[in-house]
Amino acid sequence: MRYVMKQKLFCWGDDFAIKNEAGEEVFFVDGRAFSLGDKLSFQNMQRNELAFIRQKLLSWGPTYQITRGGELAAVVKKHLFTLFRCKFTVDVPGPDDLEAQGSFLDMEYTFTRGGQLVAEVSKRWFAWADTYGVDIREGEDDVLILASTVVIDMVCHADNKLD
């Protein structure tokens, strides 16, 4: 499934509208303005919370927790010491961790699990500055991958915040 993510400009906090490939809004990410550390609520269009994203403040490097129903679903962490390419790990309970790697500043990267492609993130299909596509393979956890993409966007583009 392909999704289109667009950061909402001129708003308090990090808000994202996420549309499906037909152009219909399917998810909304509500950034909490004026909070200590980043906190975001990942919601469906009826405003039911599907996941909650929270920055861990006392950690070595940018680290975020994604929870669902109060249970830890994943920890997204940026690797601090890589030689040539920036890398993120999406550590999920159990053996199915994801790795994101590529050009994060250009929003051109992939998610893999055990070397197998799971999702691609790309700006190349769009002319708008804060818009990019996320193409997720069938059978994958769309909400988890989209929430991880939001985290990576916040970490890599923190200097572009308007709030």
CATH number for the domain including 50? 2.40.160.200
Q: Which of 14, 4, 10 is nearest to 153 (CA)?
A: 14
Q: Which residues pair with 99 in a beta bridge?
A: 89, 112
Inter-residue contact 136 to 150 (CB < 8 Å): no
Q: Which of 58, 59, 93, 95 is nearest to 77 (CA)?
A: 59
Reported pTM: 0.85
Whole domain around residue 59: which residue ranges? 2-160
| Total of domains in the chain | 1
Inter-residue contact 155 to 147 (CB < 8 Å): no
Query: CA 157, CA 52: separation in Å to the nearest integer?
Result: 20
* pLDDT at residue 157, rounded to an integer: 67
Tokens representing 112 are 């893999």
Q: pLDDT by residue (tens digit) across 25-73?
A: 999 988 765 555 678 899 999 999 999 999 887 767 789 999 999 999 9
